Structure 1
Amino acid sequence: MQPVIPLEGRPELELRQLRAFVHVAGTRHFGRAAAALRITQPALTQRIQALEREVGVQLLERSAREVQLTAAGKVLLPYANTLVQVEDRALRDLADNAAGRAGSLRVAYLLHGDVGTQGKIVAEFRRRYQDVAVETTSDSSRSNVEHLTSGAVDAAFIASSAVGPDIAVKQTGRRALLLAVPTNHPLAKLERVPAGSLRGVPIITWPRAWNPEVADSFRNWLMRNIGEEPNIVAEEPMEQAFAAVAGSGSAVTLASSWRLSSAPIPGIALRPLVPQPLIDHEIAYLRHNPSPALQNLLRITDEIAKSNHSDENLEGELL
C-alpha cells in the first residue's frame, strides 16, 4: 500500500508552473520556452524556481549551451505532461460547451497509410456524431506519434511503430506491400513477383524518417529474400516515387494493397510479391484520455476493423 502524504505536508503544485517545466523540458532552452508561453524569461525562471521549492528537489540543470533534466526532473516529466494535457482537454471541452458544440475530436491521418479504412472510420464517426467538431491533419507515423504525445491530436493513424507506455493502439487492418513497376518493365509481365527477382533492381522506397522501424524491417526483409544488400537508389514520398518509377522504365517502388481499390496509377502496374511483406495499420491514442468523443471513435474503429480486408490474401511475412 502506497504511503499517504498528509495534506499539511503536500507540495502545492500550480499548473502554470508545471506547464513552464514541460515547455523547458521539451525545448531544452529557457528563451524558446518563454517565447512559446508568451512570458518573459525572468518570469519563466521564477515559475521553475517556485516549482523546485515546492517539490524540494532540483529539476533542471542549466549550462551555457542547453538545459538538461535531473533524475528528479525525468521522474516528474510524464506526470507533468499528463496534468497539462488534462487541463488543455478540460478547457477545450468547456469552450465547446460554451459554443453549443457536443465536443471536439482531433484526428491525424497517416499520410501514406490505408486511406480507405481511415476515411471510413472518420466518415462513420461524422455520420453518427454530427454535433462533434472534427479536425483532421495528416503526417507520417513518427510525426503522428509526436503530435499525440504533445497533446496536439486525440487520435492518430500509424503504421506499426514503437510507441511510449502512455500510448495505446488498436489495429485497423493488415495490408500487403505490392511491387509498383513501370507497365513496360519485364516484372510487369508476371502475375506474382518472386522477391528474389529484385536482386540488383533499382528500388525507390519511402523516406526512412516516416517510420524507421518499418523501413528497417523492410530493408532486412529484402536482404533475406535477395541474399544481398538491396539496390535502394532513392527515398521519395509515394506520389513522387510513382512518378519517378513511371518515367524511369527500370526502377520500382512499393505500394500498399489498398491501392488496388483506387484509381489506376498512370504508367504503373501493381504486382503482389512472393512472399508478401505485410504491415499492420493502427490507430493510436493516449491511454488516460477520458474524452467521450475519443471513446466513440474507438468503438467505431473496432466495428470496422472486424470486417476489414476479409477478401484479401494476407499470407506472408509481417514487417
Structure 2
Amino acid sequence: MNLTLFQYLITSIQHIPTYFIYLKWRYWIIGSRFHRIIRRNIIYSKTESNTCQLDIYYPDTSLSSQTPIIIFLYGSILPPHSTYYILFANTLRELGYIVIIPNFQHERHIQLAIKWAYRHACEKHLDPEMIYLMGHGTGAQKAIHLVLNDVLKKAKCYINALPSNSSTDSDNSGKHDPSSSIVNNNNNSIISNTNEDHLYDFLPPIEGLLLFAGIYDRKEQSDNPLQLIKENRYLFETSRDLIDFFPRILFVHGEKDTIISVEESMTMYSILGDVLPPDQRDEVDVRMRLYKKLNHNQCITSLMSTSSYDRMNKLLSQDIKEFIDLPTPHHEDN
C-alpha cells in the first residue's frame, strides 16, 4: 500500500505538465471540434446511471464498417477517472479508432460497457466483431480474466449443446459463432439446447486484448487468469471451439516496472503457448512486446502527447497499429 501510494504521488507530480498540455490541446488545438469528436458522460446502464458512464472518442476520418472500437480499462495506480486519459485516448483516436473509456467499479460494469459498445457498433453500422479490450495494470488483469472466463463458458456451453453424436472438431474453418441455432443476438446471450433451456449471459465477441503491464499471479485473488487457465487446461487441449472463440492478445510490459514484474506477463505468455495444442498454436495470435526503458505507468503515459515521450509514443503506437490493423505473426522484441 505504501509503495502504491508513493508511486501515485510521484506520478501525479511528474505529470503536472501533462495537464497544461491538455489545456493547450483542448482550447487552442481542438477548440470547437472537441464536442464533435468527444462525447462525455454517456450512460451505459440506466439502473446505475450515476456510476455507469463512459466517454467516447471518434476519429477524424469517416467511419467505415471496419473501424475498430477500443474499450480502455484503467488500472488502480494512475487516477481512476476518464478525464485523466483524454490525451491518451486522443492518441488512439488519431490512429483511426473509436475509443471508449468507461467508469467502472467491478466486472459487471465492464460487461455492461462492452454490451453497450456492441449495440453502438450495430447502430452505427460498424462491424460489432471489431471490438478490442485494452487495459492497464489491474484493468488489464480484469480484461483478460473477464474475457477468458467468458470464452471458457462458451466452449463448455457449446459442448453441452451439441447432440451426442456430434464432434467439436467438425468445423475447422476459423472463428465462428457458438452455434447459430442457439444464439439470441438481441441480448448477446446463448440459450443452451438442453432440457433446461437455461439462458447464459455471454459477452459479444472480443476480437483482441491489449494488455499493458497488468498480468499478475495472486492466488488469493478471484480474478486470477493464470489459475483459470490451469483449472481448464483440458478445454485448451480438447475443445476446438475454445480456440475459435479465443481473442488475439498483445502483451506490453516495461522492464523497469516495479509494481508488476515483467516476468509475470512473460509467465502468462508462456503458459498460453504451453496449453495450446501444437498444431493449433499458429491459429492463436499472441504477441509479447518488452520495453527496456519503460516503468509501470509509462506504458500508458508515453501515449500522452508530451515531448519527452515522443519516441516511445511512436513505438507504442506502431505496436498497437500493427496488432489491430495488420494481424500477422509477430516475434518477441525489445
Q: Into which bin does the TM-score normalised by the smaller protein fall?
A: under 0.3
Query: TM-score scaled by structure 1?
Result: 0.25
Specify which structure has the higher proportion of strand: 1
Larger radius of gyration: 1
Considering Cα pairs closer than 8 Å and 6+ residues apart, tell me whether 1 or 2 has the greater RCO: 1
Query: TM-score scaled by structure 2?
Result: 0.24
